[in-house]
Structure 1
Amino acid sequence: MIVPQMGVGTFRLGGQTVIDSIKNALNAGYRAIDTAQIYGNEVEVGQAILESQVNRADIFLTTKIWTENYAADKLIPSLKESLIKLRTDAVNLTLIHWPAPALGVDIPELMEHLLEAKKQGLTEYIGVSNFNIELTQQAIDHIGLENITTNQIELSPYLQNQSVVNYLQANHIDVTSYMTLAYGKVLQDPILLNIAAEQQATSAQIALAWALQKGYAVIPSSTKPEHLISNLKAQDIHLTPEQMQAIATLDRNAREVNPSELAPVWDI
């Protein structure tokens, strides 16, 4: 994988809260940070990295282009603005945040502009987020499979999205899972709690371990240092085939994030 398997997310975090979260995460050992233009926290993310004891070169930093910057004359300037906010010469990964078919987005043209940003050295890698199979294939067909590093999609024990995962993994595209804990809804699941007891772990660790064992990258966020440390320990858990199969039965196509004007037609 190109994308580090364990990163820290910053969705819905701002101000001093996100600064503290990132600094605590870096102190705990995280080396991948995920943000986005629409999160409104790129300045704070850049400040946190600068104030940390970790060199920028040791951090895998991801941002995402928002829909209002998809136009040909806006994408690259907006990414340059993100770099200024993040206090870096380049990010490691830049994603198209949503395909937004309802807005009439031309995926081939959009990917061409993103590839140009890569060619200009503004981003080391590029990829997509929230794309279905059809739209991911459009991106591949236009700029080449070698240029699609990841598809960041919602995945949790309650939304396992196996058809998309199978497609991405067959094409050797990294799968990045967001909302892996489904806003915390999976944490009280009896099956996960039972596995947690068997593993002497927490249900959050079990959900993350499931995703890691499936080969996904995860980017859970937390404002509590103890939770950041606890989440990291998911990397040390090995679930048995029986435990993995038990989690497979939890799939209920329960999607937490589905904005009608931005989302594609989801694959079943």
Structure 2
Amino acid sequence: MAIPNPNILVVEDDRETRTLIAKYLRNNACNVTAVSDGREMSRAMADHRVDLIILDVMLPGEDGLSLCRKVRAEAQTPIIMLTARGEDVDRIVGLEMGADDYLPKPFNPRELLARINAVLRRQAAAQAASSIEGASTLAFEGWRIDLRLRELRNPEGARVAVTSAEFDLLRTFCERPGRVLSRDSLLDLTQGRNTGSFERSIDVLVSRIRRKIEPNPADPTIIKTVRSGGYLFTPRTEPARTEAASTEAVTAPLSS
């Protein structure tokens, strides 16, 4: 889970479906509040923090689309819409109202859980990007990357030498934590399409960076390879207080 033990609010008027969803999510490390209509939904949201809402479209009284619009007018709480209707127009309307995802009934509970995880990951990445925007120094797992001085320092505060290309790639990862980045997109973000570089150059740079920041480069946990996808920077990145540059010795040799 992008959020450990997320608080999920299920708004579903069908008791059997509501019970099924709640039981499955509780068995998968979620805290679940299950209600049957918009009034109970409002009370639940007023009583405690909600990390994500699973909202049925066809509800007694105020329907899910209207409730989605009201929630979105006041908060950015992620919403996954559920509906017995599978037409594209219903899905489009739900998304236009501010829903983050849409799942037609009947559905596999495992798919719902996968969509919850995906939505929470996207939200976490967006929040991280917002918090680090404009920061001059970023931190992850004790490491610090100074965007102004173009320096990398390890958890002990010593400067680790990196080439310009390595720095640009690491910066790109730090500014987009929790997102799967393809090799094509990494080339675009770091070198541009007019440099004549190839996807393989990204793999080489990732390998070099791993040797400098990974506890075990042979089994990377910071920059993970996503099969058929690209790379994923796993740590949480946050702004770091700018400190005066120290004079510690360089701890890693320059790469050619």
Q: Which has the higher helix share?
A: 1
Q: Report which of the two has the higher share of strand.
A: 2
Between the two structures, name the one with larger relative contact order (CA 8 Å, sep ≥ 6): 1
Normalised to the residue count of structure 2, the TM-score between the two structures is 0.28
Q: Which has the larger radius of gyration?
A: 2
TM-score by length of 1: 0.27
